[in-house]
Amino acid sequence: MSNFGKLDLNLLVTLDVLLAEHNVTRAAERLSLSQPSVSIHLAKLREFFADPLLLPGPRGMRPTARAEGLREPLRQALDVLEQAVSPASPFDPATANVIWRVAAADYAESTILLPALAELRRLAPGSRLAVFELAPTRIAKQAEQGEIDLVFHTRDCSPPGMRQRILFKERYVLVGRKGHPQLNRPLTLAQFSQLEHVVVSPNGGGFSGITDQALEQVGLSRRVVLSVPHFLFVMSALVTTDLVAMLPERLVRDSTVLQIVETPVAVPGYEMAMLWDERSQRDPAHQWLREHIVQSL
């Protein structure tokens, strides 16, 4: 129907009721309209479909073949439309069958998603969680297009325009293996600088970071001998060598094989944020997941 855009959708509601009642008077009562109004609607429908649709019969009105063909697809279409415009129903995690898609680096996987996982499985056993590698330059577009539901990223690097909630503040600590011979006493800046350091370089190959910027301000530099893209390798390397690393405290605070010491240089921390697109702001399932993440920290 090339002229569908000209059709008043209220007429289709009238047609649906007429096909159920086969009577203008009863249809008018169900629709809370006057009988003349329903008759006018029927006249417009006949003109639109170029078909009489309903013909006089011995016990009311009988549908034409065209009307019979419209009955079931029209009912299904109106059901879908009614569901689409109805208020969102409350989200029940116990019965939900939903897939959540989140983007996170391995740090956020360990410090945010892992603490939330066990309870998520218990409360929402029918749900599934897909974790995507964090791609900072694509965050906003992925969220806008519905490719991801939530993003975990540092607040200062978050793209503008996205909804956000600060989850916690993080600080850096110096970490090495338990029994590291040089971590059994407070370190001077000179001693700290002479240790062999590992750095995490998300883009790969970098040998400096925020710690090096802090050292430059006091005229010092450190020995960075290993650069890796992920935190997991760093922690394994620390356990098996005398390397050290400046790591986020939440990542290592529960470790039984690593030693945490205060650093002699002040290194700025950061705020960790949960990000999402405006399109998901009022979705009940999305709201539940966001609150669950917050409560799990």
Domains located in the chain, CATH noted: 4-85 (1.10.10.10), 99-163+272-296 (3.40.190.10), 172-268 (3.40.190.10)
**Beta bridge partner(s), residue 275:** 151, 164
User: Does residue 134 surpass a pLDDT of 90?
Assistant: yes
Q: What integer pLDDT is reported at residue 88 of this predicted model?
A: 65
Average pLDDT in the 267-295 region?
Answer: 95
User: Where do runs of H (alpha helix) occur along 50-135?
Assistant: 65-85, 106-108, 114-123
User: Does residue 228 surpass a pLDDT of 70?
Assistant: yes
Q: What integer pLDDT is reported at residue 20 of this predicted model?
A: 87
User: Does residue 34 surpass a pLDDT of 90?
Assistant: yes
- Residue-wise pLDDT tens digits, 43-95: 999 999 999 999 987 778 899 999 999 989 998 988 888 877 766 678 999 99
Cα-only R_g, the chain: 32
User: Where do runs of H (alpha helix) occur along the chain?
Assistant: 9-21, 24-31, 35-49, 65-85, 106-108, 114-123, 139-144, 189-194, 210-216, 231-240, 249-252, 284-296
Q: Give the whole-angstrom CA distance, residue 94 versus residue 119.
A: 12
pLDDT above 70 coverage of the chain, percent? 97
- Lowest pLDDT segment from 201-205, 221-225, 247-251, 256-260: 201-205
Residue 235: CB atoms within 10 Å? 20
pLDDT above 90 coverage of the chain, percent? 76
pTM above 0.85, yes or no: no
Tokens describing residue 78: 């109106």
Average pLDDT in the 101-119 region?
Answer: 96
Backbone phi, psi, residue 9, to 5°: -65, -20
Average pLDDT in the 257-268 region?
Answer: 94
**What does pLDDT average to over the chain?**
92
Q: Which residue has the higher pLDDT, 265 or 57?
A: 265
* List of residues 6+ apart from 88 with CB closer than 8 A: 282, 283, 284
Q: Could you give the angle at the alpha carbon of 163 between the alpha carbons of 157 and 169, nearest 5°? A: 50
Cβ atoms of residues 281 and 100 within 8 Å: no
- Lowest pLDDT segment from 201-205, 238-242, 273-277, 284-288: 201-205
User: Does residue 121 surpass a pLDDT of 80?
Assistant: yes
Cβ atoms of residues 75 and 16 within 8 Å: yes
Q: What integer pLDDT is reported at residue 205 of this predicted model?
A: 81
User: Does residue 240 surpass a pLDDT of 90?
Assistant: yes
